[in-house]
Structure 1
Amino acid sequence: MTLAHRPDGVHVRAPGKINVYLGVGPRHDDGYHALATVFQAVSLYEDVYAYPSEGFSVEIVGDVNVADVPTDDRNLAMRAAKLLARTAGVDDGVHLRIRKGVPVAGGMGGGSADAAATLVACDALWGTELGPHRLHELAARLGADVPFALHGGTAVGTGRGDQLTPALARGRFDWVLAMSEQGLSTPTVYGRLDEMRAHGEGLADDAAPSLEVPVAMLHALRVGDAHELAPVMMNDLEPAAIADRADLALALSDGVRFGALTGIVSGSGPTLAFLCAGPGAARTVQEELRATGRDALHVHGPVAGARIIL
């Protein structure tokens, strides 16, 4: 994931993700929840361009609404660059130009993809050559989804989601993503789930086993069968994400009515991921959703993680 020192700048592309499965345990004292999840990287990307600079700065452009994306130390890519500089003893700065293609606050890990791409880009720009293992360690310090964005593909995540085990996924899975103009805050959704559970609501059918990825899911991924995968997809955060968003429940129903095998809230939402039988079925679902006024995209997975673009 590294190259020789590149004083003219480095371009890295990293994918967004969907959570094919997401089991959420109780909240720990440190504020985090134990997770058991299956990530799949899909063909919707963030592009990070890293240029030499005396200081640290971030510029945001994109094909999605970027008005609410911070450009100071609240930006995860900025934190990634500074963390790498401190770790490697680099005195140089960097100017990051981020072109966003993943919906902001959409539950698809766009900010995490930015951070992963920044680690790879700065490692190449500065010639630090930390290697995949050390970059993974830094990614885990930045957030639970960052290590997966670094590696891509399909993986089982445990702990906070940052302890990754690659999952064999043959073939191609076709998804239609239904986006929402109004984002959802991940901490807010987790907080709502905690509140619902405290009142006996929003529970999985069997809460404890939901933290173990079903064998049937791993088998469906291994054989590349969307029909086998559809009935075992699950997201414990879904009831909390749609609690105040009746439009999400309606969209989930519509997507299946239009031909999707199933639909699920991706991560903390509000992006919805519809699994389809193949490219043709996905195009039909996309067109039907667009006809109802929704913003829908056809993507596929799994795809590779953060990579330098030459």
Structure 2
Amino acid sequence: MRSAAAPASVHVRAPGKINVFLAVGDVHDDGYHSLATVFQAVSLYEDVIATASPDFTVSVSGPDVDPATVPLDDRNLAVRAAKILAMATGYPGGVHLEIRKSVPVAGGMGGGSADAAAALVACDALWGTGLSSQRMHELAARLGADVPFALHGGTAVGTGRGDHLTPALAPGRFDWVLVLSDQGLSTPQIYRQLDEYRLEHGALADDPPESLDVPPAVLQALRSGDARALAEVVFNDLQVAALQDRPDLERVLAAGAEAGALAGLVSGSGPTIALLCASADDARRVQDECEERGLRALHVHSAVPGARIIA
């Protein structure tokens, strides 16, 4: 039961992410792949406002949201997060979730995962369930590989399905230009295409490390805060599949390089392109040049905190 002092609503903000390194292993019987990745949370956010309600309902808004692409039922990851929390804690009521989206839908930046993480934090505060960080992480992992990271934010190494997190030291700031796409990509479809590519070619795509460990050079570059060092080691195993599905993204990567970005890669399963820049000033110049070419570009930085209550 909610006490008389319980808040009428709770506003939580959670970040999108990029994978500065992503190696994908073989598919397992459960349909998931082994991963070794480095997440960084970026300054592009999802906002979720949870309000007490007898039922579980959701509304979604945002500048680029196509209502047809965001489910408003139990397929919505934020709704599933709220229901899992209610079931785990015995909470008898429901919640209305107002989701204000800024992270691209189906853009490879974990927007839906950020919504789920924000819903967990918001409902925990709204209902006064007071779960420990460990228990919240366990519930988040049941929702998807990226949800635990959206809870924690910052920089982290992800192994297993990506949900076994180890914080990584990255004290500096990295500036990125994100080039957005009008059409999303299906994460399951990109993984299937990667599997097919590997079957056809008889090898792991792009020859990633034989083991699924994050190379020391990646962690050293993050610790140093040196964007040029990081540019030498950014990597995404899913990129070959994303570019097969969307060959136009090759032109975006080339445009980023011509504009002065240090490195570019497909973000997660795509189609968002993340361009690493030497500084904030350089990022603004790259953004301007991308926009002059007719591309939709945003300047963001990493790393930022995970899901947080907004006063």
- Is TM more than 0.5 here? yes
- Matched with 2:249 is 248
Distance 1:53 1:205, change over 3 A: closer
1:144 maps onto 2:145 in alignment: yes
Check conservation: 1:168, 1:222, Cα contact below 8 A: yes
Offset of residue 228 of structure 1: 0.4
Alignment of 1:1-310 (within 5 A): 6-67=6-67, 68-200=69-201, 203-209=204-210, 211-310=212-311
1:80 Cα offset (Å): 0.2
Contact (CA 8 Å) 1:172, 1:302: kept in 2 or not? yes
For these two proteins, the number of residue pairs brought into alignment is: 307
Superposed CA deviations along residues 52-90 of structure 1, whole A, max 9, x for unmatched, are 000000000112224210010000000000000000000
CA deviation map 1:24-55 (0-9, x unaligned): 00111110000000000000000000000000
**Structure 2, gaps ≥5 residues long:** none
| CA offsets 1:218-245 (integer angstroms, 9 cap, x no match) | 0010010000000100000001001031
Matched letter for residue 90 of structure 2: G
Structure-1 separation of matches of 2:203 and 2:298: 29
For residues 269 and 5 of structure 2, what CA distance do their matches in structure 1 show?
38
Equivalent-residue separation in structure 2 for 1:50 and 1:202 (angstroms):
47
- Distance in 2 between residues matched to 1:110 and 1:6, nearest whole Å: 28
Cα distance, 1:255–1:207 mapped onto 2, change above 3 Å: closer
The Cα shift of 1:6 comes to 3.2
Give the C-alpha shift of residue 170 in structure 1.
1.4
Please provide the CA RMSD for this pair: 1.3
Aligned 8 A contact 2:206 2:237 in 1? no
Equivalent residues of 1:202, 1:240 under 8 A apart: no
Identity %: 67
Distance 1:217 1:273 in 2: 17
- Give the AA of the match of 2:231: A
Counterpart-to-counterpart distance in 1, 2:253 and 2:224 = 26
Conserved 8 A contact 2:9-2:52: yes
Which letter maps to 1:196? Y
**Matched residue type, 1:295:** R
- Secondary structure at the aligned position of 2:201 is classed as coil
Contact map agreement 1:204 1:210 (CA 8 A) in 2: no
1:275 Cα shift? 0.3
Q: Is the 8 A contact 2:197 2:205 kept in 1?
A: no
TM-score for the superposition, normalised by structure 1: 0.97
